[in-house]
Amino acid sequence: MKFGIDRLISEPALRRPLAGKRVALLAHPASVTADLTHSLDALAALPDLNLTAAFGPQHGLRGDKQDNMMESPDFTDPAHGIPVFSLYGNVRRPTDAMMASFDVLLVDLQDLGCRIYTFITTLRYVLEAAAAHGKAVWVLDRPNPAGRPVEGLTLREDWQSFVGAGAMPMRHGLTMGEMARWFVATLGLDVDCQVIPMTGWQPDTAPGYGWPLGERSWVNPSPNAPNLSMARAYAGTVMLEGTTLSEGRGTTRPLEVFGAPDLDAAALLRDMHVLAPQWLQGCRMRECWFEPTFHKHAGTQCHGVQIHVDDGAYQHDRFQPWRLQALAFKAVLRQRADYPLWRDFAYEYEYDRLAIDLINGSPLLRGWVEDASATPADLEAITAPDEAAWREARLPFLLY
């Protein structure tokens, strides 16, 4: 198969409309071609392309900033001598001066298929800026490694944030190109937005179910996204960022494990299987111990769980990471009602609302977890209609 960046490079006809235009690139460390050349270098080598600027989202264009609210500066690219503007530094929306540096912006960002992943929000912001400034945006499409399944509550009105760019569920099942089409339509943007689609993407085909296993190397799109297993689990494990439980940052399996020094993981797993065994299908869960070297509970041994989605037990159409993680929270409070589960801290430039609510796009998930009388059926009753509505709403925007 071919990603959008590889098609743009190998098919000169696709580049002809860029003749005489000033071109910029929005990219990150995973923005690489099939031979692992960074997209900025590959585009700069094209004699018929006038590359005048580049942009980096959260975690930077080439380098990795590790955590929430760790900002990247603007700089001049030493190899190509062009300005590199940070969209996760002094600003998160491009300024007028930044927009004046190009005519066409190429967006080549590897996403993880989860609403909270901030590259989606950055995509929205550059589309809105392009509409305001009369610029064009071309999205060089890449696979959604989590594939097509949909899961989670839809972000509610007045809950938009940098980790919630629009009214979609946690796991949206779109590629970045499809997401751009959805933003343009739902926001009513008057913008020249084009997608260079992939060829040969098969999101329903084993074993990758979205990621071309054995065909393309995995490069971390962010520091704690080291592999396909993380991408599959992320729509659930990302909620751990809003809790006092470790999500495995500071270990070699971030966002695949969770735990805490005072957690009884064996009892937790038993309770989860009692409460909603139907939410635990399609994966294996293993009791484990780990000691983060940094971040939450650094230097302290944690009792926890690892979610395994890389063996024969994995079932793509049955694995429900968001429900699984919600169930784990429910089981924690079932064991100890006063457990200090929710982490109250500044999260992605929001200071007045709990991170767990920002992550979920409303307080609905937290309310269900905290209500001792609420059952899995109660959460299913409010979530399933959201998921069904999104599956229908996204249909006009699918390219594959």
Span 127-153, pLDDT tens digits? 999 999 999 999 999 999 999 999 999
Structure tokens, 199: 């060829």
At 348 the pLDDT is 82
Q: Is residue 85 part of a domain?
A: yes
- In terms of domains, do 95 and 233 share one? no
Tokens 């064991």 sit on residue: 335
- In terms of domains, do 206 and 278 share one? no
CA distance 212 to 145: 8
Q: Is residue 376 part of a domain?
A: yes
CA distance 90 to 92: 7
**Residue 206 burial class via C-beta count within 10 angstroms: exposed 0-12, middle 13-18, buried 19 and up:** exposed
- In terms of domains, do 110 and 241 share one? no
Span 190-227, pLDDT tens digits? 999 999 999 999 999 999 999 999 999 999 999 999 99
- In terms of domains, do 99 and 187 share one? yes
Q: Is residue 222 part of a domain?
A: no
Q: Is residue 388 part of a domain?
A: no
Helix (H) or strand (E) holding 392: helix 376-393
Q: Is residue 345 part of a domain?
A: yes
Which string of DSSP letters, residue by residue, matches 332-363?
Answer: HHHH-TT---B--S-BTTB-SS-HHHHHHTSS
Does the pLDDT at position 173 exceed 80?
Answer: yes
- In terms of domains, do 52 and 178 share one? yes
Does the pLDDT at position 72 exceed 90?
Answer: no
CB-CB contact of 120 with 175 (8 Å): no
Q: Residue 66: which pLDDT band, with cuts at 50, 70 and 90?
A: low
Q: Shortest CA distance to 178 belongs to which of 235, 139, 211, 128?
A: 139
Q: Is residue 223 part of a domain?
A: no
Q: How many helices (H) and strands (E) does the chain have?
A: 12, 10
Total-model pTM: 0.96
- In terms of domains, do 273 and 345 share one? yes
- In terms of domains, do 63 and 110 share one? yes
Span 331-365, pLDDT tens digits? 999 999 999 999 998 888 888 899 999 999 999 99
At 347 the pLDDT is 87
- In terms of domains, do 184 and 323 share one? no
Residue 131 is part of which domain span? Answer: 4-217+393-397
- In terms of domains, do 104 and 155 share one? yes
Q: Residue 11: which pLDDT band, with cuts at 50, 70 and 90?
A: very high
104-108, strands of its sheet edge to edge? 75-76, 83-86, 50-56, 22-27, 104-108, 136-140, 192-196
Q: Name the 3-class secondary structure at 255.
A: coil
CATH number of the domain enclosing 302: 3.90.1150.140
CB-CB contact of 162 with 349 (8 Å): yes
CB-CB contact of 182 with 398 (8 Å): no
What mean pLDDT, rounded, does the chain reach? 96
Task: Give the number of domains in the chain.
Answer: 2
Span 20-60, pLDDT tens digits? 999 999 999 999 999 999 999 999 999 999 999 999 999 88
- In terms of domains, do 323 and 205 share one? no
Q: Residue 65: which pLDDT band, with cuts at 50, 70 and 90?
A: low
- In terms of domains, do 137 and 181 share one? yes
Structure tokens, 274: 């009692």
Q: Is residue 134 part of a domain?
A: yes
At 267 the pLDDT is 97
Tokens 């084993």 sit on residue: 206
Query: Strand pairing partners for 137?
Result: 105, 193
Structure tokens, 329: 């929270």
CATH number of the domain enclosing 210: 3.40.50.12170
For the chain, the maximum distance between any two Cα atoms, rounded to a whole number of angstroms, is 66
CB-CB contact of 220 with 226 (8 Å): yes
- In terms of domains, do 247 and 170 share one? no
Q: Shortest CA distance to 26 belongs to which of 221, 227, 215?
A: 221
